[in-house]
Structure formats: structure tokens, C-alpha cells
Chains A and B, each alone.
Chain A
């Protein structure tokens, strides 16, 4: 009897311990913050609030020396904020899922704009809408209307503000931007061959064959004629860019969505890759390499042409250039077998990262004012150029020139430019300042500058922002479609290398057709119908009838 009672006490103790222990974590901070706030809604500037800013990129780092540099001091003195930046260890999906699951939200969150997290967080009621904040605290803050509308959730509120977004209101009339992707080839080797004609896919493959047979090696190592991105479980990004180069439309003439993978012309892209593989122009390693290995191949000069975007390999290209300044890459337009012009997506977009504000934050007013400041011309100039007279001066034409003090500090190479803390990119509006930058004076920088390298492709780049669709978070079939889409994508990723590596064109064709039939079985047509809805939704948000540039 007594022993039973004792056991019971023991169990009770255990449960008490269990409930107390997890509760110990994380509560102290909130209390501190609450205390900080009781002192009034309009606190004196010297009283600083600590806030957390979560950035969903493992590699992201604050560009200055936080707390000591001029930029963070400005944030502290002008807005009364002391920001604690948090980044995830991996790809962030675990942290985001945990955040969504538990509802413990930092004051400010920045995630990639194409991720679903913004809607999940908004639907969970963890965010405060920016229109509400602006109305309440910063009525004169006017973000670009088209961008703001694009991010509108189904409840009519907008919760996020993007960086690196391109508003059509900001663009000059008739202006064409650079393309997002750009296939590149090595100028020195191309020159060596006498710059032969590469105006169709056929001719391009023949040139690659000549690279393989005539050039053979660079620096004693065999040259890889054609380098693709790494293969992932969902396929290969090179193929996504290849369909653009082969001008395969994502829209039918009647305005409905066209699944390119089923387009009659799509086979050409696979035929092209299969042919290239069988002629030994794609390395076998390409199918098993990860990004590190590809970086290494480009840096050591082994790659002749890469069906990748140069911005992903700038570091490797720089390394190569530093060893041999003739070994430069240049962009070229790869055309289909008929020699039609490519239709490329330009760098326009509705942003790279989006930033949102947690509902429970105690610093709403200060945060929205900070966001307003960072989005203003003054703020943009500070994050890009620093302080007038100190790090830059204006030229007569409005462009800027770096001061000697700044270039000298930078030249030291010891990171002492961190004292200014410029380069805070989470709310950068690149378009607003891109024409003001001085031309890079080092040849390597000038060579690698995106605007220079991609210049040849500008005539082929267009606004295709509707092609990705605009999500309908409340769509009843959304979960099921996400699931189907994921399944289709994983299955495709599994079959794609087999199609490319098939020993003959007929074999490749038959695997491709089998794959399409299997995808049909897995619910492809329903998924296409869903994608079409998102596509129409996007066109509606943009107020256009046709999106495929050639239909306009």
C-alpha cells in the first residue's frame, strides 16, 4: 500500500518535471521586451529595443560589424532598434517548419520569395499586414503598387516586402533588362577555332565536337565541351534554361497554360542532350557530380561551354581568370535546330527575398519606419553607397564615384570597410541604383559584371513573370496538387538522366514517351489544370491577356 503511494508521488513528480522543464525555455526574453514597451508607445530615441531578425539563408551574414559600424548605429540612434540576426544551419526548412508548427515567431522574418512560408505564416495569424502598419504608423510610405498587389494574400492584405523587385512603374519605357540565364562559352577556345557558326543547335554540337577533337585539353587536362548543372532529385536546371533557349512556349495561343514537357518541340531539347552525351560531349561525371565538383571544373579551365547561369559560378570564373586572363567566358544565344531566336526570362521579378513582420513583435512602429527608410532613396543610397562625402561623391550626371578613403580602405583587404556596414541587402532595391554605380575599374570585375557579360542576350529577354503563376492559397485542391506536383517532379528527376544517357535516339525517345505516359497516370492532366488556374490568376494580377512574349 505504502509503496504504491510512493510510486504515485514519484510519477507525479516526474510529470511535474516534464511540464516545467520545457516551459523554462525562451520566456525570459518576452518579459524583458514587454517591460521595455510599457514605457510608452513613443519611446525616446536612446531607449533601444532588442529585436530578432530571422534570415532563411544559411550563408547570409550581416555585411558590417554589427553594433560598431555606422549603419547599425544609424539604426540604433534613428529607430531605436538593436537587431539580432538569426540564420539557420542548413537550408532552413527545419527552422521554418518549427516556426510554423509552434508559432514562435521572431520580430522580422526574411525568406525566399518563392517559398510558401509567407502564406503559411500569414494564414497562421502570426504576421501583421504591412498595409495595416503603414496606415497606422507610416502613412506616407508608398511601396510600388504592382509589387504590393502581387504579394496580396487572399484576405486582401499584403504581409511582405520584397528586395530586388522590379516594378513596371520604375522601368523606363521600352527598356529591356538582362536575361536571368545566360549560357556561356570560353572565348579563348572559341577564338582558337576561328569563331565558327553556332546559329543552330546542330552547328553548335558540331563545334563542340571540334572542341573535343581539335582542342582536346586545356592546361594538360581534358576539356569538357558541354557542362550542365548538377542533377538533383527533381531534374536539372540546365534543362529549364534550355527550353527557353529553344523558345518553347509556356502558353497556348488561346491563352491557356502549356505544359512544355508535352510540347511537340520539347523533344528537341532532350534529343540535343542525348546526342551531345552519345557524342561524348557531356562528361559522365556530370551525372554524379555535386556543385562543388562543377565549381572546381570551371575554375580549373576544363569547361568549354556551360549551359548554366554565369552568376552561379562567378567565383570559379574569377579564379580561372586570375590564372589566365585569356580564359574568359562570353554569353551566347543557343538556338534550336530551326535556328529560331531564344525567348529568355529577364532578371525582372517580384523579388528575391521577402521580409515580413511578426504579429507579436513589440516594435511594430519602429520596424515599419525602418522599412520605410530602407526603401527610400536615402536608405537605398546608404546600403549601396554609404555616406556622401565619406564613401562616395556625386558626379555631375548623377552617378557616383567612390571616395579615395573608401577605395583605400577596401584595398587594404582586411575587412576594415566593415566600419561603415554598407551592403545590407535584405531590402535592397537594386533597380533604383543600378545605373548610378561607377564602372568597375579592374578588368576582372568589368568582365564578370552581369550587365556586361549578358549584354548580347538583352534582345532576347522578356518579361515572363506570369509563367510561374500566382499561388492561390485557398484553393481547395492545393494540398493534393502540391503533392501531385512533387511526385511528378521527383519521377521526372529520376527518369531524366536515363533519357539523356540512352544509347540511341530511339531509345531516348521511347523512355521519354514512357515517362510521359507514367506522368499522365500519376495525375498530370489534373495538375496542368491547376497550374493553368495559377497562371490565369497571375495574368489577372498583372492585368494582361497574353504572357508569352511572342504573342504580344
Chain B
């Protein structure tokens, strides 16, 4: 024992395996995570090779990964030359950026509003009501929305007409220009309450003496929100911002799928729905792998940009 302490004194850092061994319980837990990621995230990456091979319609995909002939970047070229390419890319990036811009801050604002409600029962009531839509699947929720938007029997169109927003009945689902708005609004309705939980938790953990002190100093409600609440939860906000940036190009597939129809296709086709149509239902494995890889590349570029931006503004990046 004595000798060991002497050694540690000589070498303040014991060897790596020794240190790992000392905390093997913790390391084992981490290991499980690593194995999981290796199996489900890294191993499948070998499959990316089929983006450069001719494995469309292949009968035995596993065999094709190895044996199919190389075709270089032809599938990437095919996608870029596709007549829908510009629309798809524009929709994917535009829709996601818009969601980041609107749907990301919405729950924060909502959480602050909720936390300012003094009446306990009313607060709980509002929370339950806003959580509820989160538990309905997009297919069911979308079906309800489709019925509500119906030109002849829906409730939304008459309301909009009475309010004077539109002059004559409009099939909102059939208007390509309305599609993005529809997606933003429905995802706020469905996700607002649930998304605010984390921020509410962060707000409740703020030391109340700060508010008391500020009140004594004469700070009004907005001052307190601006100078105490927001700075206190800024850490949570940044973490969640980075997480959503890293998820940027992954459109919520079922959300878009349920509202998509040939009339709004121009603004509703995103990479994810395109890949589903071409890859899963048409068996064009190579082509869609190439499209998916292309999406990952774009996402990587955006991710790095987000990282640099956040480092500059918040002094804190992803990596």
C-alpha cells in the first residue's frame, strides 16, 4: 500500500489500463453504449458502398454489397440532374431551417409564459391540454387535421373566411404555398407543450431569492424574465439548440407524409419522402443510398457551420 502511494506520488498519472480498471463498473456502462453505436451506427455504414455500386433492384442485397459492379458517382449525378432536385433540396433545407427558427424558440417562450402563471390549477390544466397532442400519432392527428381543413365540411375554412383572411374557400392542403405554414403550425400544436417540459424544469430550478432580490430592486416582470430567467436557462437552451442543429435535415417523415398529396408535392417533397418512394417501394437501393449520403453531406456542412457560429456567438461549440 505504502509503496503504491509512493508510486502515485512519483507518477501522478497511473497507467491508463489501471485507471480504467479502477472504475470498471462505469467503463462497462460506457462500453455498452459504444458497442451499441458500433453495431447500429458504424457497422451499417459499410452499406454506403452501394451508393457507388449498381445494386438497384438487386435480389440479394447482402451479396450485391460485395459483388455489384462499381458505377462511381453516376447515382449522385442522376439525383442532381433530376427535374425535382432543386425543389427537393430547397424544401428540405427551407422547411428545416424554418422549423429551427420558429419551432425551436416556441417552447421556450411557452415555458416562460407557463412559469409566470400564478394560479396553480390553471397552470396544470394548460400544461395537460398542451401535452395531450404529443401522444397521438401523426397519422391520426393528420387525419383529424385533414378533416378540419376540408373545403366543404371543415371548420377552418369558414373561420378564416369570417375573419376575412380569405375571400373564397381554399383547399389549404392543395395549395403548395401553404404547405410549409401548415407543417410549422401543426408541429407547434402537436409539440409545443411537450417541448416545454425541459425548459420548465430548468426554470423551476432557478433560485427564487434571485427573483426576490430583483423585485426589491424594482425590476418588473419582463426585466426579471430578461435578466434572470433567460440567462439561467441559457445553458439548456444552447444544448438543445445544438441538438436540433445536428438533426437539421432529418425531416419528420410521417408528419410530412400524411399531409403530402400531388397538389402540394412541389413544396412538400423532401429528401426523406423521396428516398422512401424510390428506395423502399421501388427497390432502387443504390440510388436512394446515394441520395441519403448526399443529404448527410449537406447536413455535415450545416452542422459545421452551426458549430462555428455557436462558438463565435455563445463561445460554446458541439465538438
Q: Which residues of A contact B (CB under 8 A)?
A: 2-3, 6, 14, 17-18, 21-22, 91, 93-94, 97, 100-103, 120-121, 123-124, 221-222, 224, 231-233, 283-285, 287-290, 292-293, 296, 479, 482-483, 486, 490-491, 493-494, 496-497, 501
Contacts and interface: CB of A to CB of B under 8 A. Distances in A.
Contact of A285 (B35, B39, B57, B152): B152
A496 B58 CA distance: 32
A285 B262 contact: no
B17 interface: yes
B51 to A, nearest CB: 16
Given A14-B35, A233-B277, A493-B262, A284 B174 contact: yes
B35 A283 contact: no
Given A14-B35, A97-B283, A479 B56 contact: yes
A93 B35 contact: no
A101 B61 contact: yes
Interface residues of B, number: 40
Given A3-B15, A6-B16, A18-B39, A288 B57 contact: no
Interface stretch (B115-123, B142-150, B191-199, B310-318): B142-150
24 contacts: A14-B34, A14-B38, A18-B35, A18-B43, A91-B281, A93-B281, A97-B280, A100-B59, A100-B61, A103-B60, A221-B153, A233-B262, A233-B277, A283-B152, A284-B151, A284-B152, A284-B169, A287-B171, A288-B146, A288-B171, A288-B173, A289-B150, A483-B56, A486-B282
B213 interface: no
Contacts of B57: 120, 479, 482
Counting chain A CB atoms within 10 Å of each CB, the highest count among B15, B17, B34, B143 belongs to B17
A496 B39 contact: no
A284 B280 CA distance: 31
Contact of A120 (B59, B146, B263): B59
Contacts of A493: 262
A121 B143 CA distance: 36
CB-CB nearest 10 A-B residue pairs: A101-B61, A288-B173, A124-B59, A3-B16, A284-B171, A6-B17, A284-B151, A288-B174, A231-B262, A120-B59
A94 B280 contact: yes
Given A21-B39, A285-B152, A231 B62 contact: no
Contacts of B146: 288-290, 293
A292 B143 contact: yes
Nearest to A1: B15
B68 to A, nearest CB: 12
B56 to A, nearest CB: 6
Contacts of A293: 146-147, 150
Given A3-B17, A231-B261, A287 B174 contact: yes
A124 B35 contact: no
A447 to B, nearest CB: 27
Contacts of B152: 222, 224, 283-285
Contact of B151 (A18, A285, A496): A285
B224 interface: no
Given A103-B60, A285-B150, A494 B265 contact: yes
Interface string B271-282: 000000100111
Contacts of A101: 58, 60-62
B255 interface: no
B170 to A, nearest CB: 8
Contacts of A120: 57, 59
Contacts of B15: 2-3
B134 interface: no
Contacts of B281: 91, 93
A221 B153 CA distance: 9
A384 to B, nearest CB: 34
Contacts of A497: 174, 262-263
Contacts of B39: 18, 21-22
Counting chain B CB atoms within 10 Å of each CB, the highest count among A17, A284, A479 belongs to A284
A308 B152 CA distance: 21
Interface in B55-80: 56-62
A123 B169 contact: no
B150 A494 contact: no
B295 interface: no
Contacts of B284: 483
B124 to A, nearest CB: 34
Interface in B140-189: 143, 146-147, 149-153, 169, 171, 173-174
Contacts of A287: 171, 174, 261-263
A542 B265 CA distance: 41
A233 to B, nearest CB: 6
A296 B150 CA distance: 12
Nearest to B171: A284
B183 to A, nearest CB: 15
A93 B280 CA distance: 7
Nearest to B32: A17
A221 B152 CA distance: 9
A292 to B, nearest CB: 6
A224 B169 CA distance: 16
Contacts of B61: 97, 100-102
Contacts of A14: 34-35, 38
Given A93-B281, A221-B153, A479-B57, 11 more contacts: A6-B20, A91-B281, A97-B283, A103-B60, A287-B174, A288-B146, A288-B171, A292-B143, A293-B146, A494-B265, A496-B262
A486 B278 CA distance: 9
Contact of B60 (A3, A94, A124, A290): A124
A102 B62 contact: yes
A292 B147 CA distance: 10
A100 B34 contact: no
A11 B24 CA distance: 16
Interface string B243-282: 0000000000000000001111100000000000100111
Contacts of A222: 152
